[in-house]
C-alpha cells in the first residue's frame, strides 16, 4: 500500500516488517506517520528504530512522533525527552514538553520549569505552562484526597 494513501486506522494494523520498512522510508512525512501510529510494544526492533528516529532524524515531525511513541518511563526515552527540550526546532521542544507532562517521570517538573524560564517561542511557552500546571496538579492530587498511594 502507498503510505501516502493510508488512513490512521490502517497504519495501526500494519505488520512489524512493513512498519519497519515505513520507519526507514526516505520521505520524512512517511516516517512521521509510521511513528505516529506505532505500537512499539512487543518488538524491540521497532522500539530501537523509534529511538534512532527520535534522536537523529532530520525531519522534526518524524523525531517528534517517534519520541512521543516511545514508552513513557523508559530511561532512554526520558533522556531523549529531556534533551528534546533544548532542540532548535519548536515542534520537537513542544513534543518533548507534552510527553514529559503526560508521562511525568521523576525530574520532569523541574526540567519543564527550567525550560519555561528561557523559552522564546510563544507557542512552546504556552505548552510548557500547561504541562507545568498539569504536573503541579498531579502532585497535589494525593493531598486533596488524602491518599498518598494514588500516584
> In which residue are the cell numbers 533544548 written?
86
- Retrieve residue 133's grid coordinates: 500546571
Q: What is the pLDDT of residues 58-103, one digit of tens each?
A: 999 999 999 998 887 777 889 999 999 999 999 999 999 999 999 8
Distance separating alpha carbons of residues 93 and 115, to the nearest angstrom:
9
pLDDT (average), residues 123-136:
94
**Residues 93, 84: contact at Cβ < 8 Å?**
yes
pLDDT (average), residues 143-148:
55
The residue that leads in pLDDT, 22 or 1, is: 22
Task: Please give the model's pTM, rounded to 2 decimal places.
Answer: 0.80
- Of 1-5, 9-13, 35-39, 127-131, the one with minimum mean pLDDT is 1-5
pLDDT at res. 41: 62
pLDDT at res. 151: 47
What totals of helices (H) and strands (E) does the chain contain, helices first?
Answer: 9, 0
Q: What is the pLDDT of residues 114-126, one digit of tens each?
A: 999 999 999 999 9
∠ CA 32-35-36, rounded to 5°:
85
Amino acid at each position: 500500500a502507498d503510505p501516502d494513501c493510508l488512513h490512521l486506522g490502517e497504519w495501526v494494523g500494519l505488520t512489524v516488517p512493513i512498519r519497519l520498512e515505513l520507519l526507514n522510508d526516505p520521505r520524512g512525512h512517511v516516517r512521521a506517520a509510521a511513528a505516529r501510529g506505532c505500537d512499539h510494544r512487543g518488538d524491540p526492533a521497532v522500539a530501537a528504530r523509534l529511538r534512532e528516529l527520535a534522536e537523529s532524524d532530520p525531519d522534526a515531525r518524524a523525531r517528534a512522533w517517534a519520541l512521543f511513541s516511545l514508552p513513557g518511563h523508559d530511561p532512554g526515552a526520558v533522556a531523549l525527552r529531556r534533551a528534546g527540550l533544548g532542540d532548535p526546532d519548536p515542534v520537537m521542544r513542544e513534543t518533548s514538553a507534552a510527553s514529559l507532562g503526560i508521562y511525568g517521570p521523576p525530574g520532569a517538573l523541574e526540567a519543564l520549569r527550567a525550560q519555561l524560564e528561557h523559552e522564546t517561542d510563544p507557542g512552546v511557552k504556552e505548552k510548557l505552562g500547561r504541562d507545568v500546571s498539569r504536573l503541579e496538579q498531579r502532585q497535589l492530587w494525593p493531598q486533596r484526597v488524602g491518599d498518598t498511594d494514588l500516584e
